Structure 1
Amino acid sequence: MALTLSEKDVPPLAEQDGALPRIIGIATANPPDSYAQSDILDIFGITDQRIRSLFMNSAIDRRFLILPPEGPDGGRRMETQGELLRKHRASGVETGARAVRECVARTGLDLSEIGYICCVTTTGLLTPGLSAHLIKELGLDVRTSRLDVVGMGCNAGLNGLTAVAGWAAANPGRPALMVCVETCSAAYVFDGTMRTAVVNSLFGDGAAAVILMADPDGLLDRPESGVRAEGPTVLKFSSRIIPEAVDAMRYDWDDDQGKFSFFLDRDVPYVVGAHAELVVDRLLEDTGLRRSDIAHWIVHSGGKKVIDSVQINLGLTRHDVRHTTGVLRDYGNLSSGSFLFSYERLMAEGQVRPGDLGVFMTMGPGSTIETALVRY
């Protein structure tokens, strides 16, 4: 049975001066169109049985995508790198803004109260970054502090959360915002190879926003505050990079296609799984906790083999990763925002009890595993 902690039983490592940051709101958004895996195969006229098998055995039912426009012959026209970057910007601003507006509305806050925004993305490069575009789009205060986390991949949501939690802890009573915005369809290459087919069969488009706040006076739990806060306190982070696997997930420039092409090594699931125990044990070090004390596991939906590998190496049940597999099934791999889609489902489920402990885990290029310990 998972352990729950009262306020007085907080692990020693989490005891520090001031209030700990707390997740007080979550919302997600996607482009308007979703496609079954079979739809995508038919739209692009893919007949190669190896590629069709890859798509149909991915444990993914549907994905939200912005597909290339139709050409004169009714087929899909291949986009240039410039068109892909414009797609990244347009979709990123639109879906990111929708996620932020919904997140702010759910908390009872106002957009004008946001003091910090961190935007996380890997599917395109903009200067200025998405944070500047979202400040303009949302009409945020021009004094809002901002950070863009670009190119770190699927693990980057927790890298961004580390920065946001740090700002919230240093500015108690002020809301800090993180937005993970991934237009993975702006990073596709269609050349008929198995290398690109692996990527094209897996990733989807979406955005997720969370708001954190440190609450030294306990106002968040008082009705008169006007803020609806249901999320956990963030206690601790732990990271592990695997330098020998630095090239296992990467962008390369494809001279023939004239665009960036993402690469996933076939051994990624085994590399991640082999190191999962090490980073989780480090996360729980000096807390007096064991893995069996964790009630809720929010693991990045990296793909069927990745999830299976993490599940086996950490001794997790299928119930433990139900939201991870559910998000993969319904959205595909949403890169940095995947774990927040799973977290949103956990909160909507209504099964979390006060004092429950949880672990967030993301993995990506580097190769890197990021974790966070939270208390609900």
Structure 2
Amino acid sequence: MEQKNVYIAKIKSIFPQTYDAVYFADKVYPSKRYGERTNTLATRLASTFGVDNRPSVLDFDVYPEIKLKNENDHPKMWGTTIVNELTQEIDKDEIGMFCLSYNASYHTDILPNLACQIAINSGLEDLDATEELPYYGCAAGVYSLNQAVRYCQAFDRPAIVFVFDQCTIKMKQLDPDDKDFNKILVSNLLFNDGGIGLLVVPERLKDKFDHPVMKVNDIYKYHTPGHLIKMTDGKFIMDSQLKNVVPKLVSEKLIKPILERNDLEIEDIDEWSIHQGGTKVIKQFSRDDHLGLDEEKLTPSIEQFHKYGNTSASSCLYVLERFFNSKQADTTATGSKGLLVGFGAGYYLAALFYEWS
């Protein structure tokens, strides 16, 4: 059976208040609580990671108590805002599916699930389905996008995907004698908060949008159990071998297979949106024994990391949004190709191959 064309027609991101990286580290690890040594170490590390801004939902006036600084940063409010922004060209009654994914959330009222609560709060009253994928790691957004695409193809109705993470609420208080002290400190200084939404539409609604859109050509997923990224007793731990293991796995088991089954070469991909696991992780894809990508292809992902750090499930989608926004006034965009690459704990891996239309 011929596959029906489906398009990403809109992308919108949302962030809480952002802070200077050194200021953030000083607030999270103040001298009066942790001592001068830990405070100095934290602020020094923050200045060397290359993350310019730290978006966070936390109220630092009461930290370490976990409290939202702004009630509008509750995930239900974020999701409602995103739905309203994505449905300006089409009626909300058109939307048939709402997909949600995240790994860390301030939300605690889990019944009905958050996806249902956002749908109710935003007026999505004629849905066929809501789906919520928590704890699928940094590839979670692509997994949700896959569900939305399959629904859109099967039922000829548009779908909304909302992906967010509020990682800073999970920051573990440090004990200098903890054997994982350094690992916890690093993860606490890398992960930030933010969300992003995508509108997926069938062919019949494509012309409602007076700008280029992304035709979804293929989504490929791969999973293998892995433990280099994990939670242990409430502590988020990233093994130092992560940068050596995961990029190679992603290259061999995800990117090369999706290129091969679409009869593509590395050079055929114009736009690369790679999960911002950190500059050392991203740069591994330039190795000849991985993908051999040149610096220009990696720059958008590296620059996004410098701008906002690692926002977990939503990270790679911000790079996709960057490409999306750059093409809105580009009448020559048609035909250029891109690859969205997500990977993280689990290990869950997923990639989207798209073409501008």
Task: Say whether the fold is shared (TM-score over 0.5).
Answer: yes
Kindly report which structure 2 residues correspond to 1:328-343, keeping only aligned pairs within 5 A, or say none.
328-343=305-320
Aligned-pair Cα RMSD in Å: 2.4
1:283 — aligned with what? 258
2:53 — aligned with what? 62
Q: 1:373 to 1:88 in 2, by over 3 A?
A: farther
Q: 1:122 to 1:304 in 2, by over 3 A?
A: same
Q: Secondary structure at the match of 1:40?
A: helix
Kindly report which structure 2 residues correspond to 1:158-197, keeping only aligned pairs within 5 A, or say none.
158-172=142-156, 174-192=157-175, 193-197=181-185
**2:22 paired with 1:42:** no
- Tell me, which stretches of 5 or more residues in structure 2 are unaligned? 176-180
Kindly report which structure 2 residues correspond to 1:234-253, keeping only aligned pairs within 5 A, or say none.
234-243=216-225, 246-253=226-233
| Offset from partner CA, 1:132-191 (integer Å, 9 cap, x none) | 11012101115441000111111111111111111011012x110100021112221121
1:292 — aligned with what? 267
Q: 1:289 to 1:143 in 2, by over 3 A?
A: closer
TM-score, normalization by structure 2: 0.86
1:272 — aligned with what? 246
Alpha-carbon separation, structure 1, partners of 2:71 and 2:100: 13
1:27 — aligned with what? 12
**2:147 paired with 1:156:** no
Alpha-carbon separation, structure 2, partners of 1:129 and 1:355: 39
Alpha-carbon separation, structure 2, partners of 1:342 and 1:304: 14
1:358 — aligned with what? 338
Q: Contact 1:25/1:230 (CA < 8 Å) preserved in 2?
A: no
2:91 — aligned with what? 110
% same residue: 22
**1:189 corresponds to which letter in structure 2?**
K
**2:196 corresponds to which letter in structure 1?**
A
What is the total number of aligned residue pairs between the two structures? 335
| Offset from partner CA, 1:116-138 (integer Å, 9 cap, x none) | 00000110463332211101210
Alpha-carbon separation, structure 1, partners of 2:150 and 2:127: 18
Q: Which moved more, 1:352-361 or 1:120-129?
A: 120-129
Q: Secondary structure at the match of 1:367?
A: strand
2:178 — aligned with what? none
**1:220 corresponds to which letter in structure 2?**
K
Alpha-carbon separation, structure 1, partners of 2:195 and 2:271: 22
1:371 — aligned with what? 351
Kindly report which structure 2 residues correspond to 1:67-86, keeping only aligned pairs within 5 A, or say none.
67-71=58-62, 76-79=63-66
**2:324 corresponds to which letter in structure 1?**
M
Alpha-carbon separation, structure 2, partners of 1:295 and 1:88: 40
Alpha-carbon separation, structure 2, partners of 1:128 and 1:269: 38
Alpha-carbon separation, structure 1, partners of 2:71 and 2:251: 35
Q: Which moved more, 1:36-45 or 1:226-235?
A: 226-235
Alpha-carbon separation, structure 2, partners of 1:78 and 1:101: 32
- Tell me, which stretches of 5 or more residues in structure 1 are unaligned? 1-15, 254-259
The equivalent position to 1:92 in structure 2, one of 48, 69, 75, is 75
Q: 1:235 to 1:39 in 2, by over 3 A?
A: same
**2:198 paired with 1:210:** yes
Deviation of 1:232 after TM superposition, in Å, equals 1.2
**2:262 corresponds to which letter in structure 1?**
T
Alpha-carbon separation, structure 1, partners of 2:246 and 2:197: 26
TM-score, normalization by structure 1: 0.82
| Offset from partner CA, 1:37-79 (integer Å, 9 cap, x none) | 11112223254344333322212100210224534xxxx3333
Q: Contact 1:298/1:343 (CA < 8 Å) preserved in 2?
A: yes
**2:274 corresponds to which letter in structure 1?**
V
Deviation of 1:329 after TM superposition, in Å, equals 1.5
Q: Contact 1:51/1:194 (CA < 8 Å) preserved in 2?
A: no
Q: 1:135 to 1:39 in 2, by over 3 A?
A: same
Q: Contact 1:115/1:176 (CA < 8 Å) preserved in 2?
A: yes
| Offset from partner CA, 1:317-341 (integer Å, 9 cap, x none) | 2221222122211211111111221
Q: Secondary structure at the match of 2:124?
A: coil
